[in-house]
Structure 1
Amino acid sequence: MPDRALRLGIDIGGTFTDFSLLDDATGELVGLKSPTVPADPARGVLEGLRILLAERRVDPGDIAYLAHGSTIAINTVIQRNGARLGLLVTRGFGDVLELQRLRLPYPVTFTATRPAPLIPRHRVGEVAERILASGAVDTPLDTDGLLAEARRLVETEGAEGLVIAFLNAYRSPRHEAEAKALLAARHPAVPVTASHEVWPQIREYERTLVAILSAYVRPRVAGYLERLEAGLREVGVRAPLHITKSNGGVTTARDARRVTVETLLSGPASGVIGAAHVCRLAGYEDLLTLDMGGTSADIALVRGGQPGSSTEEVVGDFPIVMPAVGVSSIGAGGGSVAWLDAAGVLKVGPRSAGADPGPACYGRGGLEPTLSDAFLGCGFLDPDHFAGDRLPLDPEAAARAMEPLAAALGLDVGRTAEAIVEVATANMYAAVSGVLARYGVDPRDLSLVAFGGAGPIQACFLAREFHLARVIVPPSPGTLSALGALTADVRRDDVRTIHRRLGATLAADLAAAARDMAAQARRWLAEDAPPVPSSVLAFTADLRYVGQAFQIEVPLDPAWLAEPGLGRLRDAFHDRHHRLYAHADRSADVELIDLRATVIGVTPKPSLRRPGRGSGTPAPIGSRPTHYGGARHEAGVYRRRDLLAGHEVRGPALVEQDDTTTLVPAGFVANVDDWGNLVITPGVLLEPA
């Protein structure tokens, strides 16, 4: 057993890799930001870990728990550098990836085209077989045709993996299972993925796509995890590796290798989980989270202390119907490049300078102006104390990078830096507006939680636009996503398509399906999940009025299944439909499309150390000239570690710590709460007109 109970969270971003090390006995939390190595992220993790262990004099054997959020899967999809795959489908459905869905992704753009599929048409093979929607066999599986198509895909087209997605396999997987067994025997070196094993839900395009994505990212994710686990053993870490999932849960590395598609939104989900945990301790439960790092800004809603979940997320060009924490990402991070479009209009992002070469101010050969260069030009960053003093910044290089933009805009370099920050704020405003409209939320009911390396600098500018009541900056904002990995519960989601009208004949079958899904959940907890002291199983149902094309998810109490007519489930659907759309037809027939089960293994939540108490306003350690909004401000500079619960800091001010800097603009006031959060409230700048 380790001498100390240490828990380590790791989160890889496009620019920095973040570490959070928690001592369970004392509640002490320390963080570290280390440059990401894009060519070999595992090496970047291990290099940063060695620095953390050396600086904190930690025995790697004392790490008892290790959780990791990764962007390997999502970057593979966005960059389209995954496995070369072949697809086997039911005869007549070879164009499923080309047709996608009827609606174009950008219907108001006359020149819009459908995204190119991950598998081109010539690597799609059609096989004679047919299972009806009832599950009955209409056409037996043509095994000779199957093997012939598979041979063509592997030997002629060079497929490195095969995906099977037959029509109505969600209802009966017999043909997919038979085909997989035959292909595994004939091509043992070629991985085979069957759609019913990944996500057995109605809608053939989405089901096929989820299976393809899982196979597409598997080689890179599995290879990364293998290298990382080997490196951790060399460092001396004996704790098993756990991976965060898109749904906000965590699982073992072995389970993550099996269904790699579940890790697509691993990194963004971790940040939301961490923000919800820290703010829940302080009594804040309705949140708008802003995770702004070096590459992107991720935005999410938390209501009642629980992160919002969605089955409508999009990764790259592709819809993901599996449950995921609802995160919207835009290309607005510290490394986002500022540029002029053909009309001479200033833009920021989505392209990023990344970690290599990085922003011009990093002094690593970057020549293009970025948001970080603008932050430095506005005086928000201390060039001599950045990233824990590990990365000195070059103000002259930042200014040189912005000079061409300044000349083209007819501005001086200082005003150009302000303009870059303002455009980035406008980009985030547009993204947040879409999220709020999608869920029908009044922003004045929310607290903005700012984290990531750049979030606390940008937060008050965004809060001003929405008239938000407060901004919350957690104690370790730059590494909060890594902390989120530590606080995530073990979680598994399952779905079963039913597609029948509510009524007496459905109740017994629905109860049987629920019992079977519960048994599968218990088996997963026992065989594949990390050990947990307790677990919770919850059901929901996807319901709609007969004739509707899309359904809404309604919580389902298993006790309701004992009612022959499912009356309480029907009433719950009407009530939710009315809340969402201000309309409910209680005389109309209702049909159940999918039954969903979620099992949550509750992990022990860390008790973070509270700061000591103080009062009044502490003396700043210095001051620095800043400029924003067309005006100059002499900002007091404070060290975050010197601020105690009860302290107050009035803007203009800068609060510096190893992992980020918090900007408190003129007219804002920051108070330190009992948990060490900076709670920034507005002055006259945020009063509605």
Structure 2
Amino acid sequence: MALRVGVDTGGTFTDVCLYDGGSKQLTVLKTPGTPHDPGEAVLVGADEAVDLLESSYEEVEFFAHGTTVATNSLLEGKGAKVALFVTQGFRDLLELGRQRRPKLYDLFAQKPELLVDRDRIFEVEERVRYDGTIVRPLDPSTLEEQLEQHQDVLSEVDAIAVCYLYSFENPVHEEVTGKMLQAKFPQAFVTVSSDVLPQFREFERLSTTTINGYIGPVMQNYLRSLRERLAEKGLGVAPKVTQSNGGIISFTTAEDMPVRTVLSGPSTGVVGAAALASKSGFPNIITLDVGGTSSDLALVNNGTPTSTSGMELDSRPIQAPMLDISTVGAGGGSIAWIDNGGLLKVGPQSAGAHPGPACYGNGNIEPTVTDANVVLGILNNEALLGGKMPIDARLSFQAVEALGKRLGLGVEETAQGIISVVTANMAKAIRVISVQKGYDPAEYALVAFGGAGPLHSGRLARELGMKITLVPMAPGAMSAVGMLMTDLKADFVSTARTVLEPQALNRIVDVYESLKADATNWIREEAIAEGDESLHFFADLRYKGQNPACQGELSPPVHSKSALAGRDQEQPR
């Protein structure tokens, strides 16, 4: 018996998918999430799946895990205490950012809180020019004195991030600093920008490196603990974790680069849906993944999910290859409420896994999308999850009726209003990834999955003029199923600041060879069998003198990928 297991932890439920290669049997399970320790739900769900087949962990040949720990740590402000080392004169870069105002006319718009207090940001006397030449060498003895001077502060932090100017051209100063910090403060998670994001745009590189440090200790502790507990149960293979680009990496790699996992769960749902829809004759789809807390949407062309080189999460830029997924706070647990103008709103606040919707009977009295579906009879009024989870429909009616009285509507009208509002929210998010980018939703099939996706697909398709909707056999666990359909994948990126002309050929070849060497080393470390690997090279270009750089598309999921971002650097200072 050769077993493959995929486990996806969401905001409300943990989904488990187990495939028996011998009998070709696919087993799908759901278990309530455990927010206090997401790893507990992973183990409970995996135990139940293995026991159901009367098997054991020793027979598992593949174990993949999708997690929201990194994302939630950032969104909830529960990351590590971080210190930051920057080039002298750039202490305030993290706060200044790009000085853009996304909400130009909002007088009360607030910038996100800094992940690093200013008294833990240290300037270092070093300077590398835009072309990699060293203007001011880093003096190790001076840096040692600086570390001694701030030892009290640095001894109390959980992580230390290092981001020097133009380190993507010459990382030697960051490498020296990183080694000294690791030796002097072994308790800290040390991360340097030349490892995290060796490409230009200093603010985005600084933000991404800082986030990697902020969520690093949290993810490291979580994955390390889960890895040890799985080993104690008899798991003999190295577990994998899904990353934002739709591929998977080992737990140990993710422990060093957790910023790659900010879209860990949603990405594999898109990969799985794209594969299944293509086999069904629908290569062009829009995916609708509705969970308990949010809805994730993505566009797929010719069987390949669209990708992007970065995103903003809670107004903080993260530069890393990832699938282009739009998220809106509209899930089964999203709470319906009335704003100051007396209008009905739904989300982004969610009842989560506990207490959950009112019908769960755990004390929540606010109506949710799930409660509205119970009132309208769309969901069973006695139990969910195929009868495994009893509910109290009376509580749903009470919660929706109380909201309806404030709106002057009956209970059914209020429930229908909640569904209409959440449908409009989802439609708006789909238009962002389709209409606003030149794609007509009517030309795509809608693939609905997640615990609540199929409940809303019909209304949403009608709203957008879409003629075809597809529902997988196990929609509630599509992300877990997708984990069994994805490949090991890594992206290696470098900035080549040069004009595309014959004289630059040697340099361009050198950059590609360096990326190829990095990819080859990774393939060896991941123990990928010879013949299973696949290398794809790409270049992100712009016209000479163009600013900012064009954002190119990344590759489809492959075993391994080496990508080159060949953009010009901004004008040298």
Task: Name the TM tier (shorter chain).
Answer: over 0.9
Corresponding residue SS for 1:126: strand
1:331 matches 2:306? no
1:409-457 Cα offsets, whole Å, 9 max, x none, are 1111111111111110011111111111342111111000000000000
For residue 231 of structure 1, report the CA deviation from its aligned partner. 2.4
1:253 to 251, 254, 268: 251
For residue 532 of structure 1, report the CA deviation from its aligned partner. 7.0
Conservation of the 8 A alpha-carbon contact between 1:126 and 1:149: no
Conservation of the 8 A alpha-carbon contact between 2:359 and 2:396: yes
For residue 28 of structure 1, report the CA deviation from its aligned partner. 2.2
1:384-426 Cα offsets, whole Å, 9 max, x none, are 3411322111111111112221111111111111111111001
Alignment of structure 1 residues 649-660 onto 2, 5 Å: none
Conservation of the 8 A alpha-carbon contact between 1:10 and 1:19: yes
Conservation of the 8 A alpha-carbon contact between 1:105 and 1:114: no
Conservation of the 8 A alpha-carbon contact between 1:86 and 1:153: no
Distance, in Å, in 1 between the alignment partners of 2:398 and 2:146 is 58
Conservation of the 8 A alpha-carbon contact between 1:347 and 1:423: yes
1:471 matches 2:446? no
Q: Say if 1:533 and 1:361 are closer, same or farther in 2 by CA, change over 3 A.
A: farther
For residue 204 of structure 1, report the CA deviation from its aligned partner. 0.7
Distance, in Å, in 1 between the alignment partners of 2:118 and 2:377 is 53
* Residue equivalent to 1:191: 189
* Residue equivalent to 1:103: 100
* Residue equivalent to 1:275: 273
1:377 matches 2:372? no
Distance, in Å, in 2 between the alignment partners of 1:210 and 1:280 is 34
1:357-376 Cα offsets, whole Å, 9 max, x none, are 11110112222111100010
For residue 298 of structure 1, report the CA deviation from its aligned partner. 0.2
For residue 554 of structure 1, report the CA deviation from its aligned partner. 5.6
Runs (4 or more) in structure 1 with deviation over 4 Å come to 151-154, 529-533, 553-557
For residue 179 of structure 1, report the CA deviation from its aligned partner. 1.2
Q: Say if 1:160 and 1:592 are closer, same or farther in 2 by CA, change over 3 A.
A: closer
Q: Say if 1:309 and 1:417 are closer, same or farther in 2 by CA, change over 3 A.
A: same
Corresponding residue SS for 2:495: strand
1:350 matches 2:325? no
1:387 matches 2:385? yes
Distance, in Å, in 2 between the alignment partners of 1:391 and 1:19 is 16
For residue 480 of structure 1, report the CA deviation from its aligned partner. 0.6
Distance, in Å, in 2 between the alignment partners of 1:371 and 1:152 is 55
Alignment of structure 1 residues 275-294 onto 2, 5 Å: 275-294=273-292
Distance, in Å, in 2 between the alignment partners of 1:426 and 1:516 is 48
* Residue equivalent to 1:304: 302
Which structure has the greater CA radius of gyration? 1
For residue 151 of structure 1, report the CA deviation from its aligned partner. 4.4
1:184-237 Cα offsets, whole Å, 9 max, x none, are 222233232111011111011111111111111111111111221232234333
Distance, in Å, in 1 between the alignment partners of 2:231 and 2:183 is 34
Corresponding residue SS for 2:541: strand
1:57 matches 2:54? yes
* Residue equivalent to 2:203: 205
Query: Which stretch has the larger CA shift, 43-52 or 64-73?
Result: 43-52
Corresponding residue SS for 1:211: helix
Distance, in Å, in 2 between the alignment partners of 1:72 and 1:113 is 25
Q: Say if 1:67 and 1:533 are closer, same or farther in 2 by CA, change over 3 A.
A: farther
Corresponding residue SS for 1:343: coil
Distance, in Å, in 2 between the alignment partners of 1:511 and 1:415 is 65
Distance, in Å, in 2 between the alignment partners of 1:27 and 1:78 is 40
Conservation of the 8 A alpha-carbon contact between 2:496 and 2:511: no
Distance, in Å, in 2 between the alignment partners of 1:385 and 1:116 is 42
Task: Please state which structure has a larger fraction of its residues in strand.
Answer: 1
* Residue equivalent to 2:501: 503
1:156 matches 2:153? yes
1:85 matches 2:82? yes
Distance, in Å, in 2 between the alignment partners of 1:224 and 1:388 is 31
1:24 matches 2:12? no
Conservation of the 8 A alpha-carbon contact between 1:98 and 1:121: no
Q: Say if 1:555 and 1:338 are closer, same or farther in 2 by CA, change over 3 A.
A: closer
Q: Say if 1:338 and 1:154 are closer, same or farther in 2 by CA, change over 3 A.
A: farther
Distance, in Å, in 1 between the alignment partners of 2:223 and 2:567 is 39
Distance, in Å, in 2 between the alignment partners of 1:369 and 1:592 is 50
Conservation of the 8 A alpha-carbon contact between 1:154 and 1:160: no
Conservation of the 8 A alpha-carbon contact between 2:461 and 2:469: yes
1:593 to 564, 568, 571: 568
* Residue equivalent to 2:233: 235
- Code of the residue aligned with 1:423 in structure 2: it is V
Instruction: State the Cα RMSD in Å.
Output: 1.9
1:481 matches 2:479? yes
* Residue equivalent to 1:117: 114
For residue 538 of structure 1, report the CA deviation from its aligned partner. 1.3
Uncovered stretches (5+) of structure 1, i.e. residues with no partner: 558-590, 595-689
Q: Say if 1:555 and 1:276 are closer, same or farther in 2 by CA, change over 3 A.
A: closer
Corresponding residue SS for 1:544: coil
- Percent identity, aligned pairs only? 39
Q: Say if 1:376 and 1:204 are closer, same or farther in 2 by CA, change over 3 A.
A: same
Conservation of the 8 A alpha-carbon contact between 1:97 and 1:117: yes
- Code of the residue aligned with 2:338 in structure 1: it is L
Q: Say if 1:223 and 1:153 are closer, same or farther in 2 by CA, change over 3 A.
A: same
Q: Say if 1:83 and 1:456 are closer, same or farther in 2 by CA, change over 3 A.
A: same
1:444 to 442, 445, 452: 442
Query: Which stretch has the larger CA shift, 370-379 or 206-215?
Result: 206-215
Conservation of the 8 A alpha-carbon contact between 2:308 and 2:554: no
Distance, in Å, in 2 between the alignment partners of 1:531 and 1:335 is 43
1:41 matches 2:38? yes
Q: Say if 1:107 and 1:516 are closer, same or farther in 2 by CA, change over 3 A.
A: same
For residue 43 of structure 1, report the CA deviation from its aligned partner. 0.8
Conservation of the 8 A alpha-carbon contact between 1:540 and 1:553: no
* Residue equivalent to 1:262: 260
Distance, in Å, in 1 between the alignment partners of 2:114 and 2:150 is 17
Query: Which stretch has the larger CA shift, 140-149 or 503-512?
Result: 140-149
Distance, in Å, in 1 between the alignment partners of 2:521 and 2:228 is 28
Distance, in Å, in 1 between the alignment partners of 2:554 and 2:345 is 47
Distance, in Å, in 2 between the alignment partners of 1:495 and 1:330 is 30
For residue 149 of structure 1, report the CA deviation from its aligned partner. 4.2
* Residue equivalent to 2:510: 512
Q: Say if 1:197 and 1:426 are closer, same or farther in 2 by CA, change over 3 A.
A: same
- Code of the residue aligned with 1:184 in structure 2: it is Q
Alignment of structure 1 residues 419-568 onto 2, 5 Å: 419-528=417-526, 531=529, 533-552=531-550
Distance, in Å, in 1 between the alignment partners of 2:148 and 2:353 is 42
Corresponding residue SS for 2:447: strand
Conservation of the 8 A alpha-carbon contact between 1:490 and 1:529: no
For residue 239 of structure 1, report the CA deviation from its aligned partner. 3.0
* Residue equivalent to 1:138: 135
* Residue equivalent to 1:625: none
